[in-house]
Amino acid sequence: MRIFQQICTFTATFALIFGGGVLIAMARDSSITLSAIVIIILNNLSPEAVRFLTSFESHVNETSYASSVYVKVTLFRWVNTAIITAIITPFMYTAQDGQHLIEGIRILFTAELVQRPLVQLTDWQGNLQRHLFAPRSKDQRRMNLLFSSKEYSIGERYTDVTKLLFLTCFYATIYPAAWYFAAATLSVYYWVDKFCVLRTWKQGPKISGKISIYSVYYFLLCIVTYSVMSAYNIAGFPFDNACETGEYLPEYYEGTYGSEGNGINFTISADDKVYKFCNQNLFRFFPVVFPPFPSDQPVGSEWMSETQLKYLPIYGWLCLGIIITVSAIIAIRLFVRSVVPLCFRKYKSQGRAMEDTFSEVDDIKGYIPNVDIRGYEFPYLMCDISDIDPELIGWSANSTVDPNSYNLTSDLPQVLRRTKSKKTIGEENPVFSKVMHWPPSSETESFQNVDMPSRDDSMLGACFRFVFQ
C-alpha cells in the first residue's frame, strides 16, 4: 500500500514538474527575465505543493516523511531551475550577449542571493499572522496558534543547498562567475538560517541522519553533472553552429550592408572567410556521443580550436573516470546496505555510552502515542496517561490546560454513548496503545540543588553566543 501511495505521489510530482516546465517555456517566449521570475515562484511554491502530495503517503516516522519530501522537492527544483532552462534555450543562444542563457543564469543566481534571505528575514507571513490576524482572533486558542512560529525542515534546507550546487555545476563552465555567486549565496544562507533556527523558527521533529546520508548521493550527482556538462560545453564552444571552410568570399560580396535605421550594419571585406552550418551540439548527436572527444566531429565539419583539441580528451576521460567512480561508490553503498545485513549483525554501537540515566535527563520525551490535529496547539494523546509521569508527554501548557483534555481516549465512551452501542472497552480489548512507566526508586531524589552554569543574558553575551556557538 505504501509503495502504491508513493508511486501515485511521484506520478503527480512528475506531472507538476511537467506543468512547471510548460509554464517556464511559455514565459521564456516572452522574456528571459519573466522565465527567471516564474522559476523563482515555482521554487518557492514547490515545498508546499510537495508537502501536500506527500501528506497522502503513509510514513512510520518523520525521517522517512522528510526524505520523501526532500527527494521530490530536489527533483522539482533541479529540473525546473537547471534542466528545463537548458532544454528550452536554443543551442546558439548559449553564449550570446543579450536576453539569452547567460543572462537568465545571472538573474537566477542574483535571485538566489537576494530573494530567499529577504523573504526569510522579513518573515512577512509570520508578521501578518502576529500583528494583523492574531489580535482579531475569535478565541485564545486561535490567537495562540497564530503566534506559533514556522517549523523548519532540514530536508528543505538541504534542497536549497543542493539546488544551488546543481545549478552551479550545470552552468559553471559557460558561466564561471557561478562559483562566486554560489560561495556568496551559501555564506548568506548559513548566517540567515542560523539566525532563523536560533531566533525565529520552531524546532521540528528530531529526525535521524538519513537525510544527510541521502545528500551524499546528491552531492555525488552534482560532481557527475559538472564533469559531464564541462566536457560537452568545452566540445560545443563557441556554440554558433558555424564551421570555417577555409575559403574566402568572392570579391563581388565586398561592401557595406544594412542601414543604421534598423540597427543592422555590417561590412564584408576581402579577408572574410566563408562559414558553413555544422551541428556543434554533441548532446543531440545520433548515435549518442559519450564521452565527447575531438574525433567525434563530423569529417569536413570540424570546429574545435587547438585549445579544445588539447583539453577535450582530458575532460572526456575525467568525465568517464568520475562516472565510474561515483557508480562504484553508489553500488558499494547499496551492497553494504542491502546484502551485508543478511550475513552480519546490523547494529554496531558507536562511541562511548552516555552515563546519564533516562530518569536524570530533564525535558526528555517518552514514546507516547499522539497525533497532531490541525488547528490545535498541542498534539492529541492516543493512550491512557494515568500510569506515567506527565513529564514524559513532552509538552506542558500553562496550568489552565489539563493534558487529559487533549486525550482522545476520553472521547471514546462519549462516542459509544452517542451511537447507543452496547460494546465495552476492557483490558482484554484495548482500542488504544498501552503506555507503562516503571521509574527507578532513585528518581525520587531531588535535583533542585544542582548548581546550573550561569548564563550571560546581556546583549553582548547574546551576540557572542549567536556568532560563536
CB of 340 to another protein, least distance (A): 9
Question: CA-to-CA distance for 31 and 47, rounded, in angstroms?
Answer: 26
Q: How far is the CB of 441 from another protein (least distance, A)?
A: 11
Nearest to another protein of 203, 259 (CB atom): 203
Coil, strand or helix: which one is 23? helix
Where on the chain is the footprint of another protein (CB under 8 A)?
Answer: 1, 58-63, 65, 205-208, 341-347, 349, 353-355, 357-359, 365-371, 382, 394, 412, 415-416, 418-419, 421, 423-425, 428-431, 433, 440
- The smaller minimum CB distance to another protein, of residues 238 and 394, is found at 394
Pick between residue 209 and residue 258 the one whose CB is nearest to another protein: 209
- Residue 336 or 425: which CB sits closer to another protein? 425
CB of 190 to another protein, least distance (A): 25
Give whichever of 374 and 455 is closer to another protein, judged by the CB atom.
374
Nearer to another protein, 195 or 432 (CB): 432
Distance of CA 49 to the CA centre of its chain: 13
Q: How far apart are CA 453 and CA 461, in angstroms?
A: 14
CB of 332 to another protein, least distance (A): 19
43 versus 54: smaller Cβ distance to another protein: 54
Number of Cβ within a 10 Å radius of residue 413: 11
Amino acid at 3: I
Residue type, 38: V
Distances (CA, A) of 352 to 210, 344, 356, 358: 21, 22, 12, 16
Query: What is the spatial distance between Cα 174 and Cα 222, in angstroms, rounded to a whole number?
Result: 16
User: Residue 376 corresponds to which cell in the numbers above?
Assistant: 490545535
Kindly state the smallest distance separating residue 469's Cβ from another protein, in Å. 22
DSSP 405-440: GGBGGGGHHHHHHHTT------TTS-SSBP------
Omega within 30 of 0 (cis) for the link into 341? no
Please list, residue by residue across 367-378, b when 16 or more beta carbons sit within 10 angstroms of its beta carbon and e when fewer do.
ebebeeeeeebb
- Least distance from C-beta 382 to another protein, angstroms? 6
Q: How far is the CB of 150 from another protein (least distance, A)?
A: 17
| C-alpha closest to that of 129 among 189, 66, 200 | 200
